[in-house]
Each structure stands twice: as C-alpha cells, then as structure tokens.
Amino acid sequence: MTRPVWWESVVADVDSAARAGVLHTPSGDVETPAFMPVGTQATVKGLVPDLVAATGAKMLLANTYHLALRPGEDVIAELGGLHAVMSWNGPILTDSGGFQVVSLADRVKIDDRAAVFRSHLDGSLLELTPERAMSIQRKLDSDIAMCLDHCPMLPATDSEIARAVDRTIAWAKRCREAGGSDFQGVFGISQGGSNPELRKRCAEELTALDFEGYAVGGVSVGEDRDEVRTAVRLGAASLPADKVRYLMGVGRPEDLIDSVAQGIDIFDCVLPTRNGRNAHCLTSRGVVKLRNACYKVDRGPIEEGCPCLACVRFSRGAIRHFFLAGEMLGPILASLHNLTYIQRLLREMRDAILTGRFARFQAETLEALRPRRLD
C-alpha cells in the first residue's frame, strides 16, 4: 500500500534552505510552505469553515487532549469523525497532546510510561500513553496524527532536555508500533532545544523509524528569538530532506519568514486568531492595535489592498467600535483579517521561492515589519 501522506519537492531556493513543495493527503493536496489555522476544540474560534477557507487555508489543526476530554473521541467518531464535526473537507492534522505537558504543567505528572493529566474541566484523570494518543487520533480520523512527545519547558538544563529527548524517542517507537489508521499519516516530533548534539541524536533516531513527516518541537516555549532561530535551524537541518518539515506552535510573521528560510514547510499557531480576539491586527508594516484612540474615526481598512471581508466591507473605526461595544463581530473580523494576512504571507513566500527571489523577499519583508510606531 502506498503511503497515505507524502511530500514532494517542487523547487529549492539556491540562496537558502527554503523550498516549495506539495503535501499529499487523503483529503487533498496542500502547497507548501503552508500555515494551518488552529481549531483546538474542532472549531477555529468565531469563524465558520467557509470564512476559514476564504482566507486561503487548506489544512486545519485540532487538539487531541482537548477533544479526548470533551466531547470524547468516541462521540467524535459517532458524529462521523473530525471532518464531519468541523464541516471541513480538506486535510486535518491532530496534535498528540504533548504540548499540554508544557501548557498544563501544573496539572500533569509524567514518567516513562505516560503523561497523566488532571482535567482542567472537572478534575478527572486522563492518562495519555503513546498508544492511547494514537488510538484517540485514529478515532478522530484526522489525515495526520502526531506522535506523543515530551516537550520540556525552557529554559532547562542539558540533562533535563536530554531526558525529554530520551523519552520522546522511546514514545515515538511505541507510537510507530501502535500506528495510525490505513488512511492516516504519522509524524514524529524532534526535541533537543538549541543543543546541536541532542537535536541531531533525536532526529537520527526518529528518521530510522521512517515516519511520513517530521516536526520540530520544543520551540517558542520560553526562549528568546535568537534561541528560537537556533533551534529551528538545528531542527530543520537534522531532519530528512525528502520528508515534510513541520514547525509546531510558531506564528509571528518574522519567525515564519526566518523558518521558511531554514527549510520549514508547514506551521500552526493560535497567534493570528488570539491576536485578532484582542484587537491586534497583523499587516505588512506591523501590528495595528485597533483599540487605540487614533482609530476612532479612521475610515480606512485594517490594511489597504487586503481582500478579506473585514477590509473590503468595514473600516478601522467601525471595527474598533465593535470591540469597545463588546460585539462579537469585532473579534470575528480581526481574526478573519489576521488569517488572511498570514495565508497571503505564505503564498508570497512560495511565489518568491518559485521565482528565485526569496532572499530579496525575506530582506524587504523583514525590514517592513521592523518595529516602528504606527499609532
């Protein structure tokens, strides 16, 4: 049987590690570099699927831990799987719950056998072994399932990161043995922080397991931007060149550009929608903070030339009013704009790679995003 998920290279940039390709999945193809909006609980907050698709998104992410707690993977299966629940016909990737080891650190106990969570909903226990993580994702019926990994909170000592790497490798072997469904690809997740030896060892062990794709994990969990860039560079360079490379949980425009230059193919992050819900709008010249008084009677769009509904139909002043009045439309429109901006940025990077001008694009775009006072 052919692999359910595979990636093919189209063009490699001559001046960097950037590359353009196509990720093939049972639910359709995704041109890379690509960004996945996050639908933690089977929904991208505030946006119906048609609006999400209108931003240019082709693939979504959902959260294994949260969906196992509510409504439960059996309920999702009874409802027809994640595609039916999310009303999304394109590819869906489910994470494994490994990041919750960091984000819910005060509610989890972890050892070599499992991560045991105290539910943030009702205090009940959820035991997440590698085998259980894969079983949940099979029932969710996503296109891509992620291995359970141990993501350490940074800063951490080398010995702490080494223990996380050892556990991640051991759990990846158990996930590989448990397997996904016949129509589900499985991705391994590399750890190692910004330690070259640990990143290399983790990648080598995971590569030997021959996953359909690989993720760079343990990034943007407490380190500064330089450390993020180092971890991404080491992580990407140590992973197979013929498999898709996924950087988990990174969404700042500057970091996306830097990471594509290092050979990353796909991304996910809550930043576009979370920032949108807080009236922070992403533009090609930096962040527009719509709550600021200077936008009270501003009749212009969030960003001139943006094709999203928020920019075509509404003014900055109007959307600011929706936020101040506590109307749901404000966060919806700002989230829609932010996702549209991110998808446009990824398409522009792909076009720049295909036309041999990525280095120039990177320099010009980062200069335009350089912090400056807009308001």
**Residue 21: exposed, middle, or buried by beta-carbon count in 10 A (0-12, 13-18, 19+)?**
buried
- Among the listed residues 100, 96, 124, the one whose alpha carbon sits nearest the alpha carbon of residue 110: 100
- The tokens of 78 are what? 């009874």
User: Is 95 an active-site residue?
Assistant: yes
Q: Answer for the pair 247, 231: CB distance below 8 angstroms, yes or no.
A: no
Residue 131 and residue 97: Cα distance in Å, rounded?
12
Classified as helix, coil or strand, 128 is strand
Beta bridge partners of 254: none
The per-residue DSSP string of 153-185 comes to PSS--HHHHHHHHHHHHHHHHHHHHH---TT-E
Catalytic residue among 95, 141, 143, 149: 95
Classified as helix, coil or strand, 116 is strand
User: Is 226 an active-site residue?
Assistant: no
Name the residue with tokens 């829609």: 336
Catalytic residue among 255, 258, 268, 298: 268
Residue 373 and residue 280: Cα distance in Å, rounded?
14
Catalytic residues: 95, 268
